[in-house]
């Protein structure tokens, strides 16, 4: 048999188009009648927010490269022009489905359940009177209409802000003809307004409808002919030349102010906006027809997420659950003693994040603790993690924190956290120039009768209590000497810029992780050719790095059974004869965002399992500081393998990727329904009725 060219463009899917397919799977949750109604609305908002960030970062980046004249091609052979054209075609279809979902599915369903999201044509006289007063008292005082003429040029429009362009007829107080004006809605104004009417019905009105209904009040003596909402999306990627700056924090603070006014990449208008006004707006933002999205509804669907919080209807939301706690930690006031006994595995959100916070709180108050070292990527503005670190510094502990200032869209919050920690006396570092510190590590150094001991927590997710309730992640507590020494060496590397350490157990990028995992894939290939047990299961958020995909293709050709659980972007094409017929790819989209990364290698009957902070992408392997850690206890490996098996047997929330690039949603049919997330909730979380809660983990 001829050896295929594993670099052939035909063996790869386009990264950008693959992301849009993932967002389509998110949107499918909004159409799914088995999902509680308000959760369906939330999934619609998530799909809108995802698309915003896609344009702000990915589309903006492609446009920049195109403008710079780059001739680079994607792995699938598409040029920048072809990718942008493909993006517009698929994004336009996705946007049409989003608004069909809102207007034809969710709004009628909400109305049937007593939640009315009504436009101006459906306001009762009582509602109209109340909303007029609301406009006069709450809205009009903060609006500043801006007329357009040669002396008053088009104003600066902030990224993703709500704006109205108003067509006028008449003369102003100075006798000048009035034709167009801009009304900008401050971000301080709520976008969804509850109307206090009698009866059981919950009535909600969008700010867009209120402004359009009463905009005439802003233009006394001039006739308002039309009022049309619009929104512009801008390039939001920050650029800092790290080789040319002396203070990264100060440089980022300067860049943050410019993010709101980056180059425009998308214009959204209401579908009633006249063509001449659309063309006028396109000229102002230096955009083209292909950059326009005309929508039958609010230009920012993500703002409808406020409905979820405004409407207190537990019957229309997911059941509340209480995360479980491992038996060995429940009621145990000495976490260090439990960790000394043996490693502890946590699986969030099914198991509580509280032990991680307790670990740091206990360290802060323990007189035997000498030092705490931690990485922070995203942790939230009011973080109990930071509270514990501040308390530790105040108690005289040596506290060192590696804060990644360039965590996208969390830069400002991280700058504030760094200031707070420094004021408390902690040592704050900003990582390594040119490399984002994405590893999830915490280490407590404690003096004990037998000498100094290191206690470590390593995880796949951020130290963020809120997302720990929404994202699936693994974390491990360990007092292993070898792991502790590795974590110590990594912190030395990050703080003092020592040479790359020789690690005992951990695998680090950008030094060796890529080569290590390709070597493990090639080892599985050798096992298969020798007739030994060989299998690979990878669970990641994204799989795009080409050399890794080539190694997976080689393993498949040798007969290795490869199962890939890829939440989002996947560039690998499964099911190609002679290349990838032994590879299955599935994506699970459900109540929780799948965020854990786990890598299982059968290894000829001596299985290895690693968890990591890293996806299989170029940036994670080569431009980030990442850590993969082995699951050392056999019972923990078995637990994670059982979790992975659940995902592979899921027939309710899983989608399979076909060789032609289509994702097909699975259904139970006549088989027993399997829902991996629901089963894990029933296994570990208390207060759920899916299956009896039994948290037997130790």
In a domain, 420, yes or no: yes
Last residue of a domain, one of 316, 345, 379: 316
Each residue of 205-222: pLDDT tens digit? Answer: 999 999 999 999 999 888
Please answer whether residues 184 and 211 qualify as being in contact, where contact means their C-beta atoms are separated by less than 8 angstroms. no
In a domain, 626, yes or no: yes
Task: In whole angstroms, give the CA distance from residue 524 to residue 583.
Answer: 14
- Give the distance from CA 45 to its chain's centroid: 13
Task: In whole angstroms, give the CA distance from residue 498 to residue 490.
Answer: 9
3-state secondary structure of 320: coil
> Is the confidence at residue 696, as pLDDT, over 50?
no
In a domain, 405, yes or no: yes
Comparing C-alpha atoms, which of 419, 417, 409, 463 is closest to residue 438?
463
| Bond preceding residue 510 cis, omega within 30 of 0 | yes
Give the pLDDT of residue 410. 56
Task: In whole angstroms, give the CA distance from residue 424 to residue 364.
Answer: 13
Q: Does 576 lie in the same domain as 514?
A: yes
In a domain, 545, yes or no: yes
> Is the confidence at residue 244, as pLDDT, over 80?
no
> Is the confidence at residue 692, as pLDDT, over 50?
no
Q: Which range of residues forms the domain containing residue 380?
A: 335-500
Please count the CA atoms within 13 angstroms of the CA of 38 that sit on its side-chain side. Answer: 20
Q: pLDDT category, 690, cuts 50, 70, 90? A: very low
Q: Residue 77: which CATH number?
A: 3.30.1840.10
> Is the confidence at residue 1, as pLDDT, over 60?
no
Q: Does 274 lie in the same domain as 136?
A: yes
Comparing C-alpha atoms, which of 460, 441, 416 is closest to residue 360?
441
Please answer whether residues 471 and 348 qualify as being in contact, where contact means their C-beta atoms are separated by less than 8 angstroms. yes
Q: Phi and psi for 76 in degrees, rounded to 5?
A: -85, 5
Domain total for the chain?
A: 3
Each residue of 630-657: pLDDT tens digit? Answer: 999 999 999 999 999 999 999 999 999 9
Each residue of 407-416: pLDDT tens digit? Answer: 555 566 667 7
Q: pLDDT category, 257, cuts 50, 70, 90? A: low
Q: Does 514 lie in the same domain as 485?
A: no
> Is the confidence at residue 675, as pLDDT, over 80?
yes
User: What's the rounded mean pLDDT across residues 128-147?
Assistant: 94
Give the pLDDT of residue 689. 35
pTM above 0.95? no
Q: Which residues contact 600 (CB under 8 A, 6 or more apart)?
A: 535, 536, 537, 538, 607, 608, 609, 640, 641, 644
Which residue in the block uniquely carries the two structure tokens 């060796």?
Answer: 512
Q: Does 118 lie in the same domain as 79?
A: yes
Give the pLDDT of residue 353. 95
In a domain, 103, yes or no: yes
| Bond preceding residue 302 cis, omega within 30 of 0 | no
Token pair, residue 639, equals 């637990």
Q: Which residues contact 120 (CB under 8 A, 6 or more apart)?
A: 209, 212, 213
Q: Which residue has the higher pLDDT, 697 or 367?
A: 367
Each residue of 437-494: pLDDT tens digit? Answer: 999 999 999 999 999 999 999 999 999 999 999 999 999 999 999 999 999 999 999 9
Q: Does 570 lie in the same domain as 655?
A: yes
Q: Does 558 lie in the same domain as 445?
A: no
Give the pLDDT of residue 246. 46
Comparing C-alpha atoms, which of 31, 20, 25, 28 is closest to residue 90?
20
Percent of the chain with pLDDT over 70: 91
Last residue of a domain, one of 455, 470, 500: 500
Helices 125-134 and 207-214 meet at what angle, rounded to 10?
90
> Is the confidence at residue 73, as pLDDT, over 90?
no
Each residue of 520-578: pLDDT tens digit? Answer: 999 999 999 999 999 999 999 999 999 999 999 999 999 999 999 999 999 999 999 99
Q: Does 417 lie in the same domain as 385?
A: yes
Task: In whole angstroms, give the CA distance from residue 608 to residue 601.
Answer: 5
In a domain, 224, yes or no: yes
Count CB-CB contacts under 10 A for residue 177: 11
Give the pLDDT of residue 380. 72
Each residue of 78-106: pLDDT tens digit? Answer: 999 999 999 999 999 999 999 999 999 99
Q: pLDDT category, 29, cuts 50, 70, 90? A: very high
Q: Which residues contact 569 (CB under 8 A, 6 or more apart)?
A: 15, 18, 19, 22, 542, 543, 544
Please answer whether residues 73 and 79 qualify as being in contact, where contact means their C-beta atoms are separated by less than 8 angstroms. yes
Q: Does 386 lie in the same domain as 340?
A: yes
DSSP 574: -
Give the pLDDT of residue 240. 46
Last residue of a domain, one of 445, 471, 500: 500
Catalytic positions are 438
Q: pLDDT category, 239, cuts 50, 70, 90? A: low
Cβ contacts of 487-490, under 8 Å, gap ≥ 24? 487/373, 487/441, 487/443, 487/454, 487/456, 487/458, 488/443, 488/454, 490/439, 490/441, 490/627
> Is the confidence at residue 241, as pLDDT, over 70?
no
Exposed / middle / buried, residue 334 (Cβ in 10 Å: 0-12, 13-18, 19+): exposed
> H-type helices in 135-187, by residue range?
none
Each residue of 296-353: pLDDT tens digit? Answer: 999 999 999 999 999 999 999 999 999 999 888 887 789 999 999 999 999 999 999 9
Give the pLDDT of residue 412. 67
What residue ranges in 280-368 does DSSP mark as E strands?
Answer: 292-295, 344-348
Q: pLDDT category, 198, cuts 50, 70, 90? A: low
Task: In whole angstroms, give the CA distance from residue 103 to residue 304.
Answer: 13
Is residue 627 within a helix (H) or strand (E), and if so which, with residue range?
strand 624-630
Task: In whole angstroms, give the CA distance from residue 340 to residue 342.
Answer: 6
Each residue of 570-622: pLDDT tens digit? Answer: 999 999 999 999 999 999 999 999 999 999 999 999 999 999 999 999 999 99
Each residue of 139-158: pLDDT tens digit? Answer: 999 999 998 876 678 999 99
In a domain, 516, yes or no: yes
How many Å is the Cα radius of gyration of the chain?
Answer: 27
DSSP 193: E
In a domain, 691, yes or no: no
> Is the confidence at residue 248, as pLDDT, over 70?
no
Q: Which residues contact 464 (CB under 8 A, 6 or more apart)?
A: 378, 379, 380, 383, 385
Q: Does 431 lie in the same domain as 386?
A: yes
> Is the confidence at residue 697, as pLDDT, over 70?
no
Q: Which residues contact 331 (CB under 8 A, 6 or more apart)?
A: none
Q: Residue 341: which CATH number?
A: 3.30.870.10
Q: Does 295 lie in the same domain as 353?
A: no
Q: Does 453 lie in the same domain as 483?
A: yes
Average pLDDT, the chain: 90
Q: Does 357 lie in the same domain as 235?
A: no
Burial 232-255 (b: 16+ CB within 10 A, else e): bbbbbebebeeeeeeebbebbeeb
Give the pLDDT of residue 245. 44
Q: pLDDT category, 420, cuts 50, 70, 90? A: confident
Give the pLDDT of residue 43. 97
Give the pLDDT of residue 628. 98
SS3 content of the chain, % helix, strand, coil (to 5): 40, 25, 35
Percent of the chain with pLDDT over 90: 74
Token pair, residue 697, equals 């983990």
């Amino acid at each position: 048999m001829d050896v295929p060219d594993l670099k052939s463009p035909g063996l790869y899917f386009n990264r950008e188009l693959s992301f849009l397919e993932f967002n389509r799977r998110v949107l499918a949750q909004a159409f799914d009648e088995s999902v509680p109604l308000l959760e369906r609305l939330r999934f619609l908002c998530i799909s809108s927010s995802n698309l915003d960030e896609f344009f702000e970062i990915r589309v903006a980046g492609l446009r920049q490269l195109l403008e710079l004249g780059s001739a680079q091609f994607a792995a699938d052979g598409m040029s920048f022009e072809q990718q942008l054209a493909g993006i517009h075609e698929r994004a336009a279809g996705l946007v049409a489905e989003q608004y069909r979902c809102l207007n034809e599915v969710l709004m009628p369903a909400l109305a049937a359940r007593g939640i009315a999201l009504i436009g101006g044509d459906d306001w009762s006289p009582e509602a109209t009177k109340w909303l007029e007063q609301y406009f006069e008292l709450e809205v009009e005082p903060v609006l500043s209409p801006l007329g357009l003429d040669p002396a008053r040029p088009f104003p600066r429009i902030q990224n993703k802000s709500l704006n109205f362009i108003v067509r006028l007829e008449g003369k102003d107080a100075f006798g000048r003809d009035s034709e167009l004006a801009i009304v900008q809605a401050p971000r301080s104004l709520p976008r969804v307004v509850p109307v206090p009417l009698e009866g059981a019905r919950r009535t909600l009105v969008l700010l867009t409808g209120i402004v359009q209904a009463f905009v005439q009040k802003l233009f006394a003596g001039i006739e308002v002919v039309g009022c049309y909402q619009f929104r512009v999306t801008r390039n939001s990627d920050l650029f800092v030349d790290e080789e040319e700056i002396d203070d990264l924090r100060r440089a980022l603070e300067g860049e943050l102010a410019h993010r709101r006014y980056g180059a425009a990449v998308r214009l959204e208008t209401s579908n009633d906006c006249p063509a001449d006004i659309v063309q006028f707006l396109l000229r102002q933002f230096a955009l083209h027809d292909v950059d326009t999205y005309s929508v039958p509804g609010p230009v920012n669907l993500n703002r409808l997420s406020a409905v979820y919080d405004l409407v207190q209807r537990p019957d229309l939301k997911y059941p509340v659950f209480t995360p479980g706690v491992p038996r060995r930690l429940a009621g145990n006031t000495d976490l260090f003693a439990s960790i000394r006994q043996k490693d502890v595995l946590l699986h969030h959100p099914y198991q509580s994040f509280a032990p991680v916070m307790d670990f740091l709180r206990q360290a802060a108050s323990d007189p035997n603790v000498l030092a705490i070292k931690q990485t922070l990527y995203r942790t939230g503005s009011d973080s109990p993690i930071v509270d514990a670190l501040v308390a530790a510094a105040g108690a005289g502990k040596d506290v060192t924190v590696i804060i990644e200032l360039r965590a996208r869209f969390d830069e400002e919050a991280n700058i504030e956290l760094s200031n707070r920690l420094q004021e408390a006396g902690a040592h704050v570092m900003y990582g390594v120039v040119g490399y984002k510190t994405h590893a999830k590590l915490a280490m407590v150094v404690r003096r004990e009768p037998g000498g100094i001991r290191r206690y470590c927590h390593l995880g796949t997710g951020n130290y963020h209590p809120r997302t720990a309730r929404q994202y699936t992640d693994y974390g491990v507590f360990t007092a292993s000497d070898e792991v502790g020494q590795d974590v110590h060496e990594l912190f030395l590397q990050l703080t003092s810029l020592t040479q790359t350490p020789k690690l005992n157990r951990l695998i680090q990028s950008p030094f060796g992780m890529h080569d290590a995992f390709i070597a493990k894939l090639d080892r599985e290939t050798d096992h298969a050719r020798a007739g030994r047990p060989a299998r690979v299961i990878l669970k990641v958020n994204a799989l795009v790095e080409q050399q890794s995909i080539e190694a997976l293709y080689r393993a498949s050709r040798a007969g290795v059974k490869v199962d890939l659980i890829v939440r989002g972007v996947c560039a690998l094409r499964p099911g190609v004869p002679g290349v990838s017929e032994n590879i299955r790819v599935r994506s699970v989209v459900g109540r929780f965002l799948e965020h854990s990364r786990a890598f299982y290698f059968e290894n000829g009957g001596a299985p290895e399992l690693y968890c990591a902070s890293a996806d299989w992408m170029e940036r994670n392997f080569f431009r980030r500081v990442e850590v993969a850690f082995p699951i050392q206890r056999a019972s923990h490996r078995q637990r994670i393998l059982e979790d992975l098996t659940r995902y592979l047997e899921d027939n309710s929330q899983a989608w399979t990727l076909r060789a032609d690039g289509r994702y097909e949603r699975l259904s139970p049919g006549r088989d027993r329904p399997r829902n991996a997330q629901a089963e894990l909730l029933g296994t570990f979380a208390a207060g759920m009725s899916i299956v009896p809660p039994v948290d037997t983990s130790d």
